[in-house]
Amino acid sequence: MAEALLQKAAGSALRVESAGSKPSGYVHPLAIKAMAELDLDVSEHRSKNLDEFLDQEVDTVITVCGNADQACPVFPGQMRRYHWPFFDPADAEGTEEEQMEVFRQVRDEIERVFSAYGLGRKDAGEAAK
């Protein structure tokens, strides 16, 4: 969810990739459903391992869950690092509708934070031109 929301906010100003230290191998079906409510299709996305990016130039690392900030390596040339912890909605319990409500809440929290960040980076890039 974070990848799609940040990419939406930043547009072409940033290349956004999402990865984790212990990826599940799939995008949670309720995340796909929650994002579809915002007209964002993440059904073709996949969870990726951090190792896929170790040999790439990474400007900014944003960690979002639990102790991800401690598990995430420092990338060569990395300039920025942020940790904005959100509850992992995959850990939600209850009925499917109760779980869906948690996915919506977390999605909306991520959207508020990442929209502000992405728009700020986009504006900074345009101001530098």
Instruction: From 47, 46, 35, 48, select the one nearest 4 (Cα to Cα).
Output: 35
pLDDT surpasses 70 at 35: yes
- As a whole number of angstroms, the distance between CA 64 and CA 69 comes to 8
pLDDT at 93: 97
Higher pLDDT, 25 or 67: 25
Which residues form the domain of 99? 2-113
Is residue 16 domain-resident?
A: yes
**Total domains in the fold of the chain:** 1
Is residue 119 domain-resident?
A: no
Is residue 97 domain-resident?
A: yes
Higher pLDDT, 10 or 65: 10
pLDDT at 67: 67
What pLDDT, in 10s, does the model give residues 95-124? 999 999 999 999 999 999 999 998 888 877
- Whichever domain contains 97, its CATH number is 3.40.50.2300
